[in-house]
Amino acid sequence: MWTFVSPRVIVFGEDALEALRNEKAERVLIVADESMVKLGYVNKVKEVLTANKVEIFSEVEPEPSMETAFKCTKLARELQPSLIVAVGGGSVLDVAKAVRILMELDVDPLVINPFTDLYELGFKKKAKLIAIPTTSGTGADVTWASVLTDKAENRKLTPSNKEVVPDVSILDYRLVEAMPKRLIAGSGMDALTHAIEGMLAPWKNEFSDAMCEKAIELILNNLERSYNGDLEARAKMHLSATMAGLGFGNSQVGLVHSFGHTFGAVFKIHHGVSVGLFLPYVLTYYLKSDARARLDEIAIKNKLSSAEGLIDRILGLMRNIEIPTKLSEIVSEHEFKANLETLVLNTLNDSSLGTSPRIPDYNETQKIYEYAFEGKRIDF
- In the complex, the residues that contact Fe ion under the rule CB under 5 A are 190
Nearer to Fe ion by C-beta: 81 or 198? Answer: 198
Nearer to Fe ion by C-beta: 195 or 310? Answer: 195
Nearer to Fe ion by C-beta: 190 or 224? Answer: 190
Smallest separation, CB 263 to Fe ion (Å)? 13
Nearer to Fe ion by C-beta: 63 or 190? Answer: 190
Distance between CA 252 and CA 265 in Å, rounded? 20
Smallest separation, CB 165 to Fe ion (Å)? 16
For residues 239-266, one letter each, b for 16 or more C-beta atoms within 10 angstroms of the residue's C-beta and e for the rest, the string is bbbbbbbbbbbbbbbbbbbbbbbbbbbb
Distance between CA 101 and CA 104 in Å, rounded? 6
Q: How many CA atoms lie within 13 A of 194 on its CB side?
A: 32
Smallest separation, CB 275 to Fe ion (Å)? 5
Nearer to Fe ion by C-beta: 71 or 156? Answer: 156
Nearer to Fe ion by C-beta: 81 or 90? Answer: 90
Distance between CA 287 and CA 74 in Å, rounded? 50
Smallest separation, CB 80 to Fe ion (Å)? 33
Nearer to Fe ion by C-beta: 274 or 325? Answer: 274
Smallest separation, CB 260 to Fe ion (Å)? 7
**Which amino acid, one-letter code, is at 62?**
P
At 2 the three-state DSSP class reads coil
Smallest separation, CB 104 to Fe ion (Å)? 28
At 9 the three-state DSSP class reads strand
Instruction: Give residues with Cβ within 8 angstroms of 316, minimum separation 6.
Output: none
Tell me the residue number closest to Fe ion, measured at CB: 190
Smallest separation, CB 350 to Fe ion (Å)? 12
Distance between CA 14 and CA 70 in Å, rounded? 34
Smallest separation, CB 210 to Fe ion (Å)? 20
Q: Distance between alpha carbon 344 and the CA centroid of its chain, in Å?
A: 23
Distance between CA 99 and CA 127 in Å, rounded? 10
Instruction: Give residues with Cβ within 8 angstroms of 327, minimum separation 6.
Output: 263, 277, 336, 369, 372, 373
From 182, 191, 276, 275, select the one nearest 241 (Cα to Cα): 191
Smallest separation, CB 346 to Fe ion (Å)? 16
Nearer to Fe ion by C-beta: 81 or 249? Answer: 249
What phi and psi, each to the nearest 5 degrees, are found at residue 11?
-105, 130
Smallest separation, CB 138 to Fe ion (Å)? 6
What phi and psi, each to the nearest 5 degrees, are found at residue 148?
-125, 150
Nearer to Fe ion by C-beta: 141 or 296? Answer: 141
Angle at CA of residue 301, ends 288 and 285, nearest 5°:
20
Nearer to Fe ion by C-beta: 190 or 296? Answer: 190
Q: Helices marked H in the chain — which ranges?
A: 34-38, 41-48, 66-79, 90-102, 181-200, 206-227, 231-249, 255-267, 271-286, 291-301, 307-320, 333-348, 362-374
